Amino acid sequence: MDDVRIIRNLLAVIAVILAFSAIYFARDMFLPIMIGLIVALTLSPVVRSLSRLGIPEPIAASALIVCAGLVLGLGSYLLSGPVTAILEDAPAMGIELRHKLQGFIASLEDVKNASEQVENIATGGDSTPVVAVQQPGLLAFAAGSIANFTMLTIVGLILAMFILSSGDLFYVKLVEAFPNFSDKRRAIRTARDIERQISHYFLTITVINAGLGLSIGVAMYLVGLPNPVLWGALAFVLNFLPFVGGMIGVVLASAYGILSFDTLGMGLLPAIIYAVLTSLEAQFVTPTILGRRLEMNTVSVFLTVIVWSWLWNVPGALMAVPFLVLLKVICSNVPRLSVLGNFLSPRTFSQTE
């Protein structure tokens, strides 16, 4: 019996490793599928509500997906000009930023030179020539990445439209897949709970991020930072990335602020405002609106973001929290996974504490 258990555990570990390998190497296949499923789960309650009003599900699904595509396309078109200009000016901006931070960079270079001297002494002064491989330009790399992600997003939206147009077909197939009534009921309850939680999470987070983007855009306009609309849109997008998005926004705001203003104190003001607004949103606004049902402990969220960022880079970081919400709902409805569900949940205090 012990040998059977060991073999079963080893097979489970091998299956997990193979699954991660498949997800890593087949990203371009799995990413649009994930996008389509998440969009479908998010918009399913909306399509169902429109269906109750007499609008056929295929028409409602097509209208929602077309509207979402138009909004994304219009937003990308309006922001493409400022983003392209910034990327083209990035080398000159880097030189100017280096000039303004010359004193700070000089101290860092002294530390770097000292460490290199220590390394040369330790290695005996090895002067093996190093071949440098020239990387593609920033604008070309960004354009290629955005174009690839745009195509995958379009495929995902088309898949979401087909899923939404099918109505309750997948729920019917799910019921037919289980033999007894108790399993059918649990499967339907789990599927409905996943749909409700994902939809509630994404719709709520989208509204919160829109409010944050509007607040940051207005704040940047008031302090006189150029392109305040771009900063609002950037804050809206980056806030979908837990932990990482806020840090990226603060770094970008500090660099752009230093370039835009004459004094260092005024240059750091946009970054301070960005950090304060995102901290208020993360610590007070989002927990209050989402409530404890979708609350998860910070360690599990951070680990999930690391894993999915390693697998799929930025798109993976965007998928991390929805995947964690889905996993938590499944653990809440499957007794065998209750231990994992308890790990994902935040700490709960008893009445005696």
HEC secondary structure over 161-174: HHHHHCCCHHHHHH
- AA letter at 6: I
- Diameter of the chain measured on Cα atoms: 81
**Structure token digits, residue 217:** 């855009």
CA distance 262 to 252: 17
Choose among 152, 174, 83, 160: nearest CA to 316.
152
Q: Which residues of 311-328 are buried (b: 16+ CB within 10 A; e: fewer)?
A: bbebbbbbbbbbbbbbbb
Question: 82-135 pLDDT, tens per residue?
Answer: 777 776 777 777 777 777 777 656 656 655 665 666 565 655 555 555 454 444
pLDDT score of 107: 59
Instruction: Name the average pLDDT for the chain.
Output: 79
Measured CA to CA, the distance from residue 262 to residue 274 in angstroms comes to 19
The reported pTM is 0.77
Give the Cα separation of 101 and 28 in Å (integer).
Answer: 40
pLDDT digits over 182-201, tens only? 777 877 888 888 888 888 88
Domain residue spans of the chain: 1-102+144-167
pLDDT level of residue 59 (50, 70, 90 thresholds): very high
Given a cut of 50, whether residue 334 has pLDDT beyond it is: yes
pLDDT at residue 353 in the model: 41
Q: What percent of the chain has pLDDT above 90?
A: 13
